[in-house]
Amino acid sequence: MTPPIQIAFVETDTDPLATAEGTIAVFADPGVRLDRAGQRLNRLTRGALARLVESPRFADLTEGEAATLSWPVGLAAETVRVVRLGRRADVATARRAGATLGKALDAGGMTVLAGNHPRAADIAYGVALRAYRFADHKTDPEKPFGPVRFMVSKPDRVAAEAAPSAALTEAVFFARDLVNEPANVLTTDDFAARLAAMQELGLSVEILEEDALAKLGMRALLGVGQGSASPSKVVVMQWRGGGDAAPLALVGKGVVFDTGGISIKPAQGMEEMTMDMGGAGVVAGVMRGLALRRAKANVVGLVGLVENMPDGLAQRPGDIVRTMKGDTVEVINTDAEGRLVLADVMWYAQDRFKPTALIDLATLTGAIIIGLGHENAGVFSNNDALAQAFLKAAETEAEGAWRMPLAAAYDKALKSEKADMKNVGGRAAGAITAAQFLQRFVDGDRPWMHLDIAGVAALPKDSDFAPQGATGWGVRALDRMIRDGFEG
Q: Which domain CATH number covers 465?
A: 3.40.630.10
pLDDT of the residue at 141: 86
Q: Which domain CATH number covers 130?
A: 3.40.220.10
163 domain residue, yes or no: no
Residue ranges for the chain with pLDDT beneath 70:
none
Distance of CA 184 to the CA centre of its chain: 22
158 domain residue, yes or no: no
Same domain membership, residue 192 and residue 140: no
Same domain membership, residue 25 and residue 139: yes
Same domain membership, residue 125 and residue 26: yes
Same domain membership, residue 194 and residue 279: yes
Number of domains in the chain: 2
pLDDT of the residue at 284: 99
Which residues are known to be catalytic?
265, 339
Strands 79-84 and 248-258, how do they pair?
unpaired
pLDDT of the residue at 488: 76
pLDDT of the residue at 112: 98
The three-state (H, E, C) secondary structure of 137-164, written as one string: CCCCCCCCCCCEEEEECCHHHHHHHHHH
Estimate the crossing angle of helix 475-485 against helix 278-292, to 10 degrees: 50
Give the span between the Cα atoms of 134 and 176, in whole angstroms.
Answer: 8
Decide which of 107, 127, 153 is a domain's last residue.
153
Same domain membership, residue 252 and residue 325: yes
Q: Most distant CA pair in the chain: distance in Å?
A: 81
Residue 57 structural domain:
7-153
Same domain membership, residue 244 and residue 358: yes
pTM assigned to the model:
0.97
Same domain membership, residue 122 and residue 43: yes
Kindly provide the residue ranges of all beta strands, DSSP E only, lying in 211-354, ordered along the sequence.
233-240, 248-258, 298-308, 320-322, 328-330
486: left (phi over 0), alpha (psi -120 to 50) or beta: alpha
Same domain membership, residue 384 and residue 343: yes
Same domain membership, residue 392 and residue 264: yes
165 domain residue, yes or no: no
